[in-house]
Structures are given as C-alpha cells and as structure tokens.
C-alpha cells in the first residue's frame, strides 16, 4: 500500500500540491486525471523519488521513495511522457537494464514486443515515437514491478496500438501491483482504469472506484435534460448528463463526463464523496 499524508510541493512561489492525502491499494489501476498544471506529473515523480516532498510523507510499503533504496527501485518502474531513444537494439537495451529488476523476463519482453508489432532487433534511435513508447511499455511490463507509474502512456500510439496496450496491461501486470496512469486520453483507458483520482490545484477532488462513483452519480443517456444535472453535453440523438443518483439506479460511468461534472461543481461533488 502507498500512503500519502499532507503532501506539499512548490516550484518557487508556485504551490502545486498542498496537503494531499490518499491511499493507493495493491491490485488497482488508478487513473490520475486533472487539468494541465495541477501536479499530476509532479505527483508521479514524488512517488518514485525523483523529487523530494517539501512537507508531508509518502510511505510505499515501508519505503521512503526519495531515499531511492535499491530494494525499492528494483520493484518500481516509471515511464515519463517523453522516453529516451538510446543508440542500441531494443532487445540488448532491455537485457542490460533488466539485470536491475529481479522479475524481468526477456521472454515476456519479446512476447509483448511481438504483440505490439515492434521488431526487438531494431535500434531504438531509429524507431518512430509510437514504436519507442511501445518498447518502454514492453520493458516495464516484462519487469513485473510492484509499482508502475506511467505518464500519458498512450500518447504517440495509433488506434490499434492503444487496444494492444490495454490488452498487454491487463495480461502482464501482477495482481498485487499498484499502477498509476496519468492521462488526458480517458477514452483510451476507460475500460481499464479503476479507481479514478481527480486532482485540482492543491487538492484531491476525487479518489473513488467506479462502483462508488456509480452509486453517487447517475449517468443519463437520454433525450430530456434534467434540472438537477451537474453537467450535460449534447450528443447525436440526445444528451449525456450527470446528476446525483438519489434513486440508486445503475448506470455506466462516463469518465469524460465525470471529469467535466466535477470540474464545474467541485464543492458539490467533493461533499458528495466525502466520508460520512
């Protein structure tokens, strides 16, 4: 489990995170959402120890990420939005790096690369942006880490590759891994991420499972606008609208509509999901 308590971080006078507290549980694929500049990437780099929190604590199963202890790092992979393109064949690069991760499997790496239709013998500095991203993703999954943090992993991927990414993520991650994916491309990952974390400037607006969200909010795909709607958007043939689920009816969560509803009604939705 990852426990974050009263976390704060600033870039000079620009306070990005303030008193952020949450728990991240094993066996979950968290979707980390938020507008540009709210601290999503900063939070990921704090979780993997590349930045030091200015206040508060992060506890990853007893490890302080900033200490960068080898035992902790051997269970962690972070894929940034922009990835390196070394002058080396993908297979040789993965083989040399894999020595630092005890769970690394070259067979799995080659299997995922084949799934992604990328030649493992190709030099990485000759790859397209999408091929390079898929190589880094293949390596991360082949290491079977306990903590996997990814920043916009579907950027640069074409439509078939996005489907391949979803399949690989579901097939090759450990059941007890903690996975956090920061993304703006919610439609790429709508059937994968659960729970959902929505960051605001210096605040956590939501950290809830899809089951909890559908219990509190109703997602209506109808033709009549409701006065109680927190958010609505016209679609061909009707509307998607979000409003409090007072009747406790079942509905399919639309993550994009959820984000817009929370963005427009921050205090209302935060109060709706606050612990009683």
- Residues 247-256 have pLDDT tens digits of 999 999 999 9
CA distance 84 to 153: 14
Q: With contact defined as beta carbons under 8 Å apart, do 152 and 184 qualify?
A: yes
Burial (CB count <10 Å: 0-12, 13-18, 19+), residue 230: buried
Q: Which residues contact 221 (CB under 8 A, 6 or more apart)?
A: 235, 238, 239, 240
> Could you tell me what percent of the chain has a pLDDT over 70?
99
- Cα distances from 112 to residues 61, 94, 118, 139, 187, in angstroms, run 29, 12, 9, 8, 22
> Could you tell me what percent of the chain has a pLDDT over 90?
86
- Residues 1-19 have pLDDT tens digits of 999 999 999 998 888 999 8
pLDDT band at 274 (very low <50, low <70, confident <90, very high): confident
> What pLDDT is recorded for position 275?
59
Answer yes or no: is pLDDT of 261 > 50.
yes
Tell me the pTM: 0.94
- Residues 103-157 have pLDDT tens digits of 999 999 999 999 999 999 999 999 999 999 999 999 999 999 999 999 999 998 9
Domains within the chain, CATH numbers bracketed = 2-206 (3.40.50.300), 209-273 (no CATH)
Buried b / exposed e over 20-42, threshold 16 CB at 10 Å, is: bebebeeebbbbbbbeeebbbbb
Tokens of 205: 């607006």
In sequence order, what are the beta bridge partners of 240? Answer: 221, 233
Q: Which residues contact 223 (CB under 8 A, 6 or more apart)?
A: 237, 238, 239
- Residues 25-45 have pLDDT tens digits of 999 999 999 998 899 999 999
């Amino acid at each position: 489990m990852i426990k974050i308590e009263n976390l704060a971080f600033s870039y000079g006078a620009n306070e990005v995170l303030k008193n952020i507290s949450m728990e991240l549980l094993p066996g979950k694929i968290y979707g980390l959402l938020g507008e540009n500049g709210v601290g999503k990437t900063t939070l990921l780099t704090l979780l993997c120890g590349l930045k030091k929190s200015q206040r508060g604590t992060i506890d990853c199963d007893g490890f302080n990420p900033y200490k960068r202890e080898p035992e902790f790092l051997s269970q962690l992979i972070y894929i940034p939005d922009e990835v390196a393109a070394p002058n080396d064949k993908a297979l040789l690069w993965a083989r040399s790096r894999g020595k630092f991760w005890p769970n690394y499997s070259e067979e799995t790496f080659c299997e995922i690369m084949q799934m992604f239709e990328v030649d493992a013998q190709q030099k990485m500095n000759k790859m397209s942006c999408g091929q390079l991203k898929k190589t880094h993703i293949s390596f991360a999954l082949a290491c079977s880490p306990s903590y996997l943090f990814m920043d916009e992993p579907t950027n640069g991927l074409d439509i078939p590759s996005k489907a391949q990414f979803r399949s690989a993520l579901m097939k090759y991650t450990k059941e007890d891994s903690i996975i956090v994916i920061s993304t703006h491309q919610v439609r790429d990952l709508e059937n994968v991420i659960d729970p959902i974390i929505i960051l605001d400037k210096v605040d956590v607006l939501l950290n809830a499972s899809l089951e909890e969200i559908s219990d509190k909010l109703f997602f209506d795909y109808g033709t009549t606008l409701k006065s109680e709607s927190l958010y609505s958007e016209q679609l061909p043939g009707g509307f998607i609208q979000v409003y409090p689920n007072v009747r406790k009816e079942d509905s399919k969560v639309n993550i994009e509509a959820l984000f817009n509803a929370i963005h427009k009604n921050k205090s209302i939705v935060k109060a709706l999901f606050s612990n009683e």
